[in-house]
Amino acid sequence: MLPWLLRAWLLFVVIVVLAGEGLAYETWQDVCQEYSTNLRVLAAAVADGTHLFLKGTQSSLAMLGQDTGTGADGTPLAIHEKLQDYLVLNPDFNSVGVRTAGDGVVAAGMDKGLLRTLLSLPASPDARSRITDQQRQLIQRCRQASDLCVGPPLAVRNPEHPQHPHWVVPLFLGAQGIPYRHSVVTNMVALLPLQHGQFPFWHNLQLPALSSVFLLRRDGFLESLYPLPTQSPFGTRQNGIAVQSIRAHPQARSASFYGLATAFNQWRLGAWNQVRGYPLVAGVGLPRSFLLAAWWNRMTGPLAAMLALLLLSTFGYWTFRRIGEDRQRERSAHDLRLWEAKERAEVTLHSIGDGVITTDTQGRVTDINPVAESMLGSARSDLLGKPLETVFHIAHEGDHLPVENPIRRVLQEGRIVGLANHTVLLRADGQEIAIEDSAAPIHGRDGQVLGAVLVFHDVTERRRLTEHLAYQAHHDDLTGLPNRKWFLEQLRQATETQPLPGDLLLVGILDLDGFKQVNDRWGHDQGDQLLCTVAQRVRETLRPEDSVSRLGGDEFGLLLPHMHDLEDAQHLAHRLIQALNQPIEMDTQVANVSASIGWTILPGDTGDAPQILRHADLALYAAKARGRNQYCFYEKTLDVEQEQLMEMLAMTQEALEAQNLVMYYQPVVTRPAPSASPEQGVIGFEALIRLQHPQRGLLTPAVFAEALDHPRLARRIGCFVLDAVLSQGEQWHQAGLPLRLSLNISARHLLDPEFLNDLQCALAAHPGIAPAYCEIEVTESAPMLDFQKAQETLQHCNALGLRIALDDFGTGNASLSYLQKLPAQTIKIDQSFVLDMLNDPRDFAIVAGVVKTARMLGLEVIAEGVETVGHLQLLEALDCPALQGYLFAKPMPAEAVPAWVKAFNIINYIGNSAAPRNHLMGITDTGLLGAHQIRVQESIQYLQGKGCLPERILGRDDAEHCHLALWLNQLPDRAALPVDVDQLHHRLHQLLRDHVGPPGSPQARQLAQELLETNAQLIDVLHRFLGHPHVR
């Protein structure tokens, strides 16, 4: 059957393929015949149109010749006007010219030079003419012709595209063609421009797509061709299929052709037709691709039908073949399955990993496999025929209470019965094996129960693994503590349980301060050891009923139940902080870390477990923000602060992405040398970031300070600052302003592993500013986080050529150690000391001490916050060389800097004298007497209505704590001072305390004079005292 089916299918395929080939050939012949007929009709239309055009042209030229050659109108000027009129009436021509009997040439139109050449062409070649010999011969014939003669196409230079000339066809009419025999015109020429290779009137022809139309001389030269190929065929004798067809049919008026068209270098089907009255042939052609597309359109339906027939026959063949083969295989496999079924059952019973016992209806053992023998610990021969209860002993795991044998239930109920959970098999030797599985009845054909089968397997290892996995799912592998999942479950249970009256549950998150630095510096092994030690210390510190879990990383969760009051909670939190402050000894290192803890208290706090944990996390964040190594309890205000932080982050990130972060610049100035220009008093500028908010205007960093050092934005903002400031500095240097620029870098970006790479990339991107003109300002927060990392990073910055400045110096508890260990070149005294140095002698003493210390260490010192002339005078008296503050300029945009530098002169602030020094300044290095003098001067100005009264003057104890009192108390011979000194000093304070009138009043001015005289007396007494021989 199958070989016959194959032969029938192959025969059908051959018949369909042969029929398809025959249909394709016949369709191709039909397409060629149809389009050949259509092309012959089009060729005849083109030939007739060409004939009519040429006849019309001959008539119009003859009338022109007759009109221009008679009477007084035969002058050149009159002829030229008539030629112009002719071109207007015949727009297809672009030029026309005539030759008169006196060999004169009159031309009009665009190509008058070519007309003169054609009308006066010599018989012999002219080297200056671009007309070829073949064209010359054709032109000579046309000049001698009696009727209208179509000359060869000529190339005319195109001024706009010299490499692509345009073509014109000259039409000649001799004197014989002019009806008026006494005309002075002997020859006429009109130039017909070819538009893309075709005659103008061809535009109106309805031609098929991709078709071509041509006008060919019988001698093989083209007069017109559309579309025009890339390589122009004009001026060359053609020998393609069209020319061959014309030569093959010299007597025919029209014919068709099919072959290679040399002008297009492609196979084409076409037709030609003679132009009556002229030695010209008009033709139309189509490319073979067009014919193939038409043939394919007609063949699509038949080919689809034939393909469908082939696919259908193939599907039928394979379907019938598969059916036959399937039936044959089924018969062969049926007998094999019958034999294998019995063999498989026996082999399976004895080889599976489960124990199998079969019984009869009485529950006696009828068969048992080797696995069951091994698990029961008895031989098969000893078990056969015995009741199952005597050989298969099962009990509950743990309490060993008997479990009903499942076989009895199966025999009674006739259904599958599963074993109870946590069941163990008691072997004959007393061992226990955890088992699980089921028993099922064995039915006969009539549905009667013939016996039962018990299948069981050993799950001891699986239960042990399950218990281990359950432990791992709720515990941390490293520390052995419960994990985050266990912690959240315990917290959830605690929130759902009603607490006892007076009971508090303390929920906390403990996070190590500085753990990342330990990991980065000494490796993860040491970090893991540190975490294990911390976990042990926390467990030892907490009470037995307390719980500690590792939430992840260096974060631990704390659950402290049964707290009686807040004082107990604070005491336990303090103990935890103290325990973790102790040094931790590891294998090779001793680590010093601290911890921050965030607490929340139930039932005071509300919400589900994740929300309570978030509250503890907010408290932890607050503890870290307040300086770390401390604990903080959750308050509702923390939610508001968190929302404000999120809003601040979103605002700052949006400003960064929208390019609304801008840099402002505040100058740092000094007193230049007397011979230097005033501009040299500008040391440089500190770059200060601002946020241009679309609604709130220009915002200072105080509004978004936390975002600047937040992990999400610190590096991105730092990279923006580096690029913006260095780019601006590069522009100023190129403009002749070599200014030093100070950049504020956040602690988080400074300690970022990518900071040095960011810095080097920024420097490389802006080679126009040398690193020596760049200064990085750091506060104490970065070294406090990781002093060694900060020190190494700043040393690398020095190696790159950058300066380092310690900003806000004096405000932190680690500043003095910075001077010794950090590679800084500049100290910036915090403005909080400078602003109050005239009012508080303690601030003055701090400023004086910092200036002196910096001078001894060879460091540059800059005083921030210089806002009054008094500040300036006092700082100059202390020899503080560099100054910064609102007295000179507020932070300004970059475009305002050049003008400010040009206009700056420090003399405008302090006059043209040398740095002011009190003649008593040699007594002490602190300059306290100078401060006293400035305070007196400002008090006098206040009374005159020109300023504000200094602080620490009107209080009853201010005379004991002002600058002068501080200096007097430091004198070694304080007791030897004249009584007048203290009296005059107290009188200065009393005069101002007694004043009640408004500043600027006559009484105030009189008091100002009295104050001036009293101070002069005081200074005079001090002069005399300083001359005493006992004063050292």
The pLDDT assigned to 922 comes to 42
Q: How far apart are CA 504 and CA 566, in angstroms?
A: 9
Q: How far apart are CA 76 and CA 409, in angstroms?
A: 137
Instruction: Establish how many alpha carbons lie within 13 A of residue 396's alpha carbon, considering only the half-sphere containing its beta carbon.
Output: 5
Q: b vs e for 60-87, b when ≥16 Cβ sit within 10 Å of the residue's Cβ?
A: bbbebbbbbbeeeebeeeebbebbeebb
CATH of domain 646-906: 3.20.20.450
Q: How far apart are CA 78 and CA 1009, in angstroms?
A: 114
Nearest to 407 by CA among 399, 396, 398, 416: 416
Cβ–Cβ < 8 Å for 723, 762 = yes
Classify residue 182 as exposed, middle or buried by CB count within 10 Å of its CB (0-12, 13-18, 19+): exposed
Kindly indicate whether the domain formed by 354-465 is annotated with CATH number 3.30.450.20: yes
Q: How far apart are CA 207 and CA 642, in angstroms?
A: 79
Measured in degrees and rounded to the nearest 5, phi and psi for residue 582 equal -70, 145
Domain boundaries, the chain: 69-193, 354-465, 475-634, 646-906, 921-1026
Q: How far apart are CA 908 and CA 492, in angstroms?
A: 71
Classify residue 715 as exposed, middle or buried by CB count within 10 Å of its CB (0-12, 13-18, 19+): middle
The pLDDT assigned to 244 comes to 87
Residues of the chain with pLDDT under 50: 1, 126-128, 814, 912-926, 1028-1032
Cβ–Cβ < 8 Å for 134, 153 = no
Q: How far apart are CA 325 and CA 332, in angstroms?
A: 11
Measured in degrees and rounded to the nearest 5, phi and psi for residue 774 equal -115, 140
The three-state DSSP-derived secondary structure of 658-684 is: CCCEEEEEEEEECCCCCCCCHHHHEEE
Cβ–Cβ < 8 Å for 933, 838 = no
Radius of gyration of the chain (CA): 56
Question: Could you say which architecture CATH assigns to the domain 475-634?
Answer: 2-Layer Sandwich (3.30)
Question: Could you say which architecture CATH assigns to the domain 69-193?
Answer: 2-Layer Sandwich (3.30)
CA 827 and chain centroid, separation: 39
The pLDDT assigned to 884 comes to 94
Q: DSSP of 348-413, one letter per residue?
A: HHHHSSSEEEEE-TT-BEEEE-HHHHHHHTS-HHHHTTSBHHHH-EEEETTT--B---HHHHHHHH
The pLDDT assigned to 755 comes to 92
Cβ–Cβ < 8 Å for 756, 796 = yes
Cα–Cα separations (whole angstroms), residue 494 to 226, 620, 1011: 94, 21, 74
The pLDDT assigned to 111 comes to 82
The pLDDT assigned to 345 comes to 67
Cβ–Cβ < 8 Å for 906, 869 = no
Cα–Cα separations (whole angstroms), residue 411 to 364, 438, 454: 12, 13, 12
Sheet holding 594-602, edge to edge: 547-552, 555-563, 504-513, 594-602, 631-633
CA 987 and chain centroid, separation: 71
Is the pTM here over 0.75, yes or no?
no
Nearest to 61 by CA among 162, 192, 159, 160: 192
Fold agreement between 69-193 and 354-465: yes
The three-state DSSP-derived secondary structure of 484-520 is: HHHHHHHHHHHHHCCCCCCCEEEEEEEEEECHHHHHH
Nearest to 394 by CA among 427, 346, 348, 438: 427
The pLDDT assigned to 352 comes to 76
DSSP 3-state assignment of 626? coil
Strands of 714-766, DSSP E: 740-744
